[in-house]
Chains A and B, each alone.
Chain A
Amino acid sequence: MQLSKRKLLEMYKKMVTIREFEQSLSEAVAGGTLPGFVHLGIGQEAVHVGVAYALRPTDWVSSTHRDHGMLIARGADIKRMRAEIFGKVTGYCKGKGGSMHLAVYDKGAPGCNGILGPSQTINNGIALALKKRGQGDIAVVLFGDGAAHRGEFHEALNLASCWKLPALAICVNNQYAISVCVDDACAIEDIAARSTGYGIPGLVVDGNDVMAVYEAITETAKSIREGKGPALLELKTRRFKGHFEGDPQSYKTPEEVAEEMQNDPIPTFAKQLLEREITTEKVLKTIVDDVKKELQAAIEFAEQSDYPPLEEIYTDLFYEERRAV
């Protein structure tokens, strides 16, 4: 699986961008400038970038409220992302989607979804549409280990398998469903093993190794495009932050928090790039500096943008007919 140096450095830059973007949101919540719930994917950058780079631009990816990174990895503009999360009219959803319902249709992202579980059944609908179009595109859905215990998970996999839909279910197992550890809530060791019950392939992947994720998704997507039907991948990872910003994570021991931080996907990838003599420390530092500048521009863009006007409070919320009502 050969990737060009340019592509590899681009992947590294995306990972750093996601990290810095999310970190800036964390600071905004702590500083009181960003109200409401924000769920950050710090620590899960290898998942977002590995998945995004293995897909075609015409594939669709549905995700959760912890997946701002997925949209950034697929090429969403961080200025409009930031504006959206801050409720500004220049955001991707004109400030009405916010962090929890960010959708970027031109990047194949029908929306982050805070209601976990149903996104898998919705993804089947997208997959059915793509199958009917017959252009070889696939529908991917990301969900957590908690959602894998919900009925929709099983219903969606069963139907996808029966209809041989071009659907890829990705369980991002970050070990915690809000505050419940997967060891206390899951009867089996690997959620991917549930694939057997639906007659589809299943695989566990190191979700903190971006190249392992990229390789696994590339091969799975290839199989799905060939018409072999859906698959279930489990990307095992960690979230470095609480379930939401402000969550003190009292359900984790300090030792556990320290241990999970040791397996940080970004330094891991940097080390791989350096060991393979693909790049130098200097180039990696320049990338980080560039990202910080781009992020600063995004912060200013969002700050300078307006909130939606009051008279548009109902605009774009309903279909035309509903709006008329």
Chain B
Amino acid sequence: MKPVGIIANPASGKDIRRLVAYGSVFDNNEKVNIVRRVVLGLDAMGVKDIFFMPDYFGIGVRAMEDLNVAVKAHFLEMKIENAPDDSARAAGILSQLGAACIVTLGGDGTNRVVAKTCGATPLLPISTGTNNVFPTMVEGTLAGMAAGVTALNSSPRPEFIRQVPRLVLRHGTEIVDIALIDVVVSKPGFIASRAIWDIATLQEIFLCRAEPGSIGFSSVGGHMSHLSSADGKGLHIIIGPGPYEVKAPIAPGLIREVPVKSFRLFSPGEAIPLSHTPAMIALDGERERIEGKKNRVIIEIEVEGPWVVDIPRTLRYAAEQRLFLNPKQLRR
């Protein structure tokens, strides 16, 4: 049986949106509790080995304390820098180890970093961030059981694992970064506290998911043209005075009228240059890059993004396969 990887980001769920919006603080002790429930779910499914990304708080270590389980916990031998690169490094190692899936605890930002290096290893994302579209709020026990079903399954690509699109940023032919939900371009400034909430600085938005039921900039597009992860298309929105004003929840409790000058769908293979440089680029809700005046930045959508374990479908599959049914009860 394949092992399962766990990457729990100790820094997620704590950014400035607790001040400028009404985001909840996601304490690391709560992440420990969630990981505990994931481990119990994995153990119940008979998973033999779990590999944890080590971190400064010791989420994995604390989760395993006093837990009476048969599953064996291993900690990746890797350098810890208390930076996003830790998650990227861990995902690369877990992919090489042949993990059945990587359970992530974090937000869109955490999953973006993991998706850079996880290759074809599917992600099972649990939301512990702020503005989350990619990961979902799910009970850790169910996530652990679904991860266990993934590990038990011998099919290389079972029906409950699906591939989702991603946005790529290119300098010429070179991919310099990716996003799983949105690329938000604003006036040049500083990365500083990373989050984006000041709509006066926005210039344009690229989305690969535009859902009115989402929180964050994905919701802006959701009212223009609905795009799910299955559509494989992108949406490009130019911000500014124009025919529309979208009432959008850009952060928890922060609802703003976002002026939209124009919007259009784009397909894989279409290279869209940034309208302005220099510019600040936010990827999946976090200011990440400054693009200088001379940089020619191109945004594209690719349908070959990360693979994701769909938890409800996985558990439905388990039910159909009678994986959780007690044989004694069946005989009656």
Chain A residues packing against B (C-beta within 8 Å): 1-2, 188-190, 193, 196, 201-205, 209, 211-212, 214-216, 219-220, 223, 231, 272, 275-277
What are 21 A-B interface contacts by the 8 Å CB criterion? A1-B189, A2-B201, A188-B29, A189-B28, A190-B14, A201-B19, A202-B25, A205-B16, A209-B191, A212-B193, A215-B16, A216-B19, A216-B193, A219-B19, A223-B19, A231-B19, A275-B290, A276-B278, A276-B290, A277-B278, A277-B292
B198 in the interface (beta carbon within 8 A)? yes
Chain B residues packing against A (C-beta within 8 Å): 10, 14, 16, 18-20, 25, 27-29, 57, 187-193, 198, 201, 278, 290, 292-293
| Shortest distance between the CB of B230 and any CB in chain A (Å) | 37
| Shortest distance between the CB of A275 and any CB in chain B (Å) | 6
Is A196 in contact with B25, judged by CB distance below 8 angstroms? Answer: yes
| Shortest distance between the CB of B254 and any CB in chain A (Å) | 12
Query: How far is it, in angstroms, between the C-alpha of A209 and the C-alpha of B192 when the chains are bound?
Result: 7
| Shortest distance between the CB of B2 and any CB in chain A (Å) | 32
| A196 contact set on B, CB distance < 8 A | 25
Is B28 in contact with A205, judged by CB distance below 8 angstroms? Answer: no
Is B192 in contact with A214, judged by CB distance below 8 angstroms? Answer: yes
| Shortest distance between the CB of A36 and any CB in chain B (Å) | 37
| A201 contact set on B, CB distance < 8 A | 18-19
Q: What's the A-B contact tally at a CB cutoff of 8 Å?
A: 60
Instruction: Report whether over half of chain B's contact residues are helix, strand or loop; otherwise say mixed.
Output: loop
Is A205 in contact with B193, judged by CB distance below 8 angstroms? Answer: yes
Is B192 in contact with A211, judged by CB distance below 8 angstroms? Answer: yes
Query: How far is it, in angstroms, between the C-alpha of A203 and the C-alpha of B201 when the chains are bound?
Result: 24
| B190 contact set on A, CB distance < 8 A | 1, 211-212, 215, 272, 276
Query: How far is it, in angstroms, between the C-alpha of A190 and the C-alpha of B11 when the chains are bound?
Result: 11
Given A2-B187, A215-B16, A277-B278; A193-B25 close (CB under 8 Å)? yes
Given A203-B16, A203-B19, A220-B19; A215-B193 close (CB under 8 Å)? yes
Known: A189-B57, A211-B190, A215-B190. 19 other contacts (CB 8 A): A2-B187, A202-B18, A203-B16, A203-B18, A205-B16, A205-B193, A209-B192, A212-B191, A212-B192, A212-B193, A214-B192, A215-B193, A216-B16, A219-B19, A223-B19, A275-B290, A276-B278, A276-B290, A277-B292
| B293 contact set on A, CB distance < 8 A | 277
Please name the residue on chain B nearest to A206 by beta carbon: B193
| Shortest distance between the CB of B170 and any CB in chain A (Å) | 20
Please name the residue on chain B nearest to A209 by beta carbon: B192
Contact of A1 among B25, B57, B198 (CB under 8 A): B198
| B16 contact set on A, CB distance < 8 A | 203, 205, 215-216, 219
Query: How far is it, in angstroms, between the C-alpha of A212 and the C-alpha of B19 when the chains are bound?
Result: 13
| Shortest distance between the CB of B216 and any CB in chain A (Å) | 18
| B19 contact set on A, CB distance < 8 A | 201, 203, 216, 219-220, 223, 231
| A223 contact set on B, CB distance < 8 A | 19
| A212 contact set on B, CB distance < 8 A | 190-193
In the A-B complex, the 5 residue pairs with the smallest Cβ-Cβ separation, listed nearest first, are: A211-B190, A211-B192, A212-B192, A215-B192, A215-B193
Please name the residue on chain B nearest to A205 by beta carbon: B193
Please name the residue on chain B nearest to A214 by beta carbon: B192
| Shortest distance between the CB of A203 and any CB in chain B (Å) | 5
